[in-house]
Amino acid sequence: MKDELEMRKVFNDTLIELSKTNDKIVVIESDLQSCHLTNKFFGKEYPDRVVNVGIAEANMIGVAAGMSTMGKIPFALSFGPFATRRCFDQIFISVAYAKQNVKIVGSDPGVTAEANGGTHMPFEDMAIMRSIPTMICFEPTDAAQFKAALPQIVDHYGPVYIRMFRKQAEQVFCDECMKDFKLGKASKVKDGKDVTIFASGIMVSRAVEAAELLKAEGIDAAVSNMHTWKPIDEEAIEEAAKKTGAIVTAENHNVIGGLYSAVAEVVAKKCLVPVEAVGVNDEFGQVGKNAYLSEVYHLTTADIVAAAKKAVARK
Amino acid sequence: MEKEKLVFLQEKAKKLRYDVIEMIGRFGVGHIGGCMSVMDALTAIYYDKGNMDAKDPKKQDRDRVVMSKGHAGPAMYAVLRDKGYFPEDWIGTLNKNGTNLPSHCDMNKTPGIDMTAGSLGQGISCAVGMAIAAKMDKNPATIYCFIGDGESDEGQVWEASMYAGSHKLDNLILLLDYNKMQLDGPVSVINELAPVADKWEAFNFYVQTVNGHDIEAICKAIDNAKANKGKPSMIVLDTIKGYGASFTEGVANCHSMAITEEMWTKETGRNA
């Protein structure tokens, strides 16, 4: 079932709510306000707290960093590739190295860029951002989780990258069950004893479906939502490795430098078990619908089922 | 300007240049050329026109100085040390292991540095962000930002300038260190910047060109810039790279050069 609200609406609504008691929050855009609806909602409520620098992402990040030095909490938005790849050095130096409190939002993760195709389809944004010291890398799963996460992102002093799906997400969580949500702590979705699937973003609901299918085949799979790729929840990975003895990662992203890398780094260090990856295998994006692209890049529920079986067989 | 004051400022700039020579000399190598060329403008800001206080270095309404050409860090350090932002004996620590005075400006290491810079083209965007935030908060701060002529090869300089002009950020004063030399040679050969004033005028700046080694003229240009509302300002500092030292002034390869103990002690008359 899809969420009632689009993720971009949740972003706007939550920032508006937080801004009632926090006048430091500002939104910086590079000519994509209409795509993030910050003209329609946040900008309507707080027109003096929005800066649109035009199509100039490098300048956007520098402006955000400069505003941060003056005490602001800037949220700088663009499509994923332009919010990260295009202005990597600006984020690295003017934001992170300079210890500025800038939140970067990259929209349309992976295959959800759909008809915008290869130029706009970030399979590498989290890998890029993960390589920056102090950067928190977060991909919200659904509306309830995004709503729970934003106040923590505002309260945390330091750079955060938010990988934001813009439209209605598949609902996984509810407001009540997100009461104990913590950035950096995996959100358990389902217990299981044979294999743990660590999934992120649009892959979480597919992992839930996969667990149902696996059950029919006698495999009891746990599902955990690894929404924060950095700092990664090492405890949850170690616990899963020890308890289930096999791990699958599921990401709408290149497996190189992505969630598979992040999880495997911990497994290698803490507790060696088989880790199978569902994700993009070092390829470029292309135009197409989500469902089609998910087949092309092997991101489907069936791919997760196959990976889980393989992981269990390798035990 | 009163003669006494002018003499004070000129003597101050000379002393600060010697500090830079000593600082870089004690390390052995550094970006001497671009430090020497901005020193008169820095002196004008820190000793006459600017509103900043070493005793309260973080005060919210202070003027900001962004050294976007971040390799002029030693020029900033000479000023900040003289002003008392940090202990005098830090002068011998430039670029040494564990120092608070790195080649390029670092706001988290050096008291008084308002923005980290060094990857060229970035500081100017940060200065634009500061100017926007100051206007949002009705903060009276003036944002000074030094950029290099070589640095102006970077596209980000023009992204930032276009936005500043477009949005009439009249609390922003850009100062271009127009010394006409970049690392690999003359700006005119590598990537011609002229006509400089025309470029920033076309970007909707209030542009003034002054002799960058005439402190009185720089002070006057800053007064004009502040009085001119509705546009950001560009003060083109017509400078000589390496100005004020016999072994650097007008020397082609003075962007970064080795300075021996003999060179710096002879030039400054100071002891090693």
**Domains observed in chain A:** 2-170 (3.40.50.970), 184-309 (3.40.50.920)
**Are the Cβ atoms of A67 and B121 closer than 8 angstroms?**
no
Say which DSSP state A110 is in: G
The sign of the torsion formed by the CA atoms of B14, B16, B19, B24 equals negative
**Are the Cβ atoms of B122 and A90 closer than 8 angstroms?**
yes
Q: What is the mean pLDDT of residues A86-90?
A: 98
pLDDT attached to residue B250: 84
Using alpha carbons only, give the angle B135, B139, B141 rounded to the nearest 5 degrees: 100
User: What string of pLDDT tens digits covers the 272 residues of chain B?
Assistant: 999 999 999 999 999 999 999 999 999 999 999 999 999 999 999 999 999 999 999 999 999 999 999 999 999 999 999 999 999 999 999 999 999 999 999 999 999 999 999 999 999 999 999 999 999 999 999 999 999 999 999 999 999 999 999 999 999 999 999 999 999 999 999 999 999 999 999 999 999 999 999 999 999 999 999 999 999 999 999 999 999 999 999 888 899 999 999 999 999 999 99
Q: Which residues contact B258 (CB under 8 A, 6 or more apart)?
A: B28, B29
The kind and range of the H/E element at A187 are: strand A187-190
Report whether B163 contacts A58 (CB < 8 A).
Answer: no
Q: What six digits make up the tokens of A44?
A: 């309507």
pLDDT attached to residue B253: 87
- The distance from CA B204 to its chain's CA centroid, rounded to whole angstroms, is 22
Report whether A203 contacts A169 (CB < 8 A).
Answer: no
Can you list the domains of chain B with their CATH numbers? 3-268 (3.40.50.970)
User: At residue A87, does pLDDT exceed 90?
Assistant: yes
By C-alpha distance, which of A140, A120, A134, A150 is closest to A231?
A134
The DSSP-derived string for A191-212 is --SSEEEEE-TTHHHHHHHHHH
Answer yes or no: pTM beyond 0.90. yes
User: At residue A209, does pLDDT exceed 90?
Assistant: yes
Between CA B213 and CA B25 the distance in angstroms is 23
CA A29 to chain B, closest CA, distance in angstroms equals 13
**Are the Cβ atoms of B163 and A53 closer than 8 angstroms?**
yes
**Are the Cβ atoms of B160 and A62 closer than 8 angstroms?**
yes
Residue B98: which region, alpha, beta or left (left: phi > 0; alpha: psi -120 to 50)? left
A63: contact with B, CB 8 A cutoff: yes
What is the β-pairing status of strands B233-238 and A136-138?
Answer: unpaired
Say which DSSP state A171 is in: P
A70: contact with B, CB 8 A cutoff: yes
pLDDT attached to residue A140: 98
Q: What is the pLDDT of residues A2-28, one digit of tens each?
A: 999 999 999 999 999 999 999 999 999
Report whether B124 contacts B68 (CB < 8 A).
Answer: yes
Q: What is the mean pLDDT of residues A212-227?
A: 98
pLDDT attached to residue A254: 98
CA A46 to chain B, closest CA, distance in angstroms equals 12
**Are the Cβ atoms of A66 and B129 closer than 8 angstroms?**
yes
What is the β-pairing status of strands A2-6 and B181-182?
Answer: unpaired
Residues 99-138 of B with CB under 8 A from A: 106-108, 114-119, 121-134, 136-137
